[in-house]
């Protein structure tokens, strides 16, 4: 399976998980898209730095866009790339963010630690927490 196929499959599976299985339906909320806009900005910056400097390279046949086997500089936008990074990176990033948030919300709805508790202190004030 190619990188492109896996990226598209991950988006489809996570959308199904979000909307049907977990019923969190984050993709229908404006709050999600506003938060995701911030995330995708920083993802584009970091991916752009790594792929634009050719620290990370992709095989031409694995992605939608062209690689750099021709010796030409990578396109900033175009040929299947956005800010030097392949579109597939943005698809995987979307999947990872949506999956994490959907699971987090589903666990919260299930009652998993609704009221965060710090628990008892590891050592009492006034006592020496030094080595045993």
Domain count, the chain: 1
118: in domain:
no
In this predicted structure, the answer to whether residue 114 has a pLDDT above a threshold of 80 is no
Q: CB atoms < 10 A from the CB of 93, how many? A: 21
Global model pTM greater than 0.75:
no
- pLDDT band of residue 50 (cuts 50, 70, 90) is confident
- pLDDT per position as a tens digit, 1-21: 688 889 899 999 999 999 999
- pLDDT per position as a tens digit, 78-110: 566 766 677 888 899 999 999 999 999 998 887
130: in domain:
no
User: Are 87 and 79 spatial neighbours (Cβ–Cβ below 8 Å)?
Assistant: no
125: in domain:
no
52: in domain:
yes
In this predicted structure, the answer to whether residue 122 has a pLDDT above a threshold of 70 is no
Q: For residue 44, give its domain range.
A: 3-109
DSSP 43-64: HHHHHHHHHHTTSS---GGGSS
């Amino acid at each position: 399976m190619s990188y492109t196929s896996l990226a598209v499959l991950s988006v489809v599976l996570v959308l199904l998980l979000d909307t049907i299985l977990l019923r969190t339906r984050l993709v229908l909320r404006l709050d999600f898209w506003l938060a995701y806009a911030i995330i995708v900005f920083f993802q584009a910056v970091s991916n752009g730095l790594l792929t634009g400097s050719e620290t990370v390279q992709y095989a031409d046949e694995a992605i939608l866009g062209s690689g750099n086997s021709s010796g030409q500089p990578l396109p900033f936008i175009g040929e299947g790339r956005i800010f030097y990074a392949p579109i597939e990176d943005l698809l995987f990033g979307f999947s990872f963010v949506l999956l994490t948030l959907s699971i987090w919300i589903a666990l919260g709805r299930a009652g998993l630690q609704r009221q965060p508790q710090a628990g008892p202190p590891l050592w009492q004030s006034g006592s020496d927490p030094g080595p045993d």
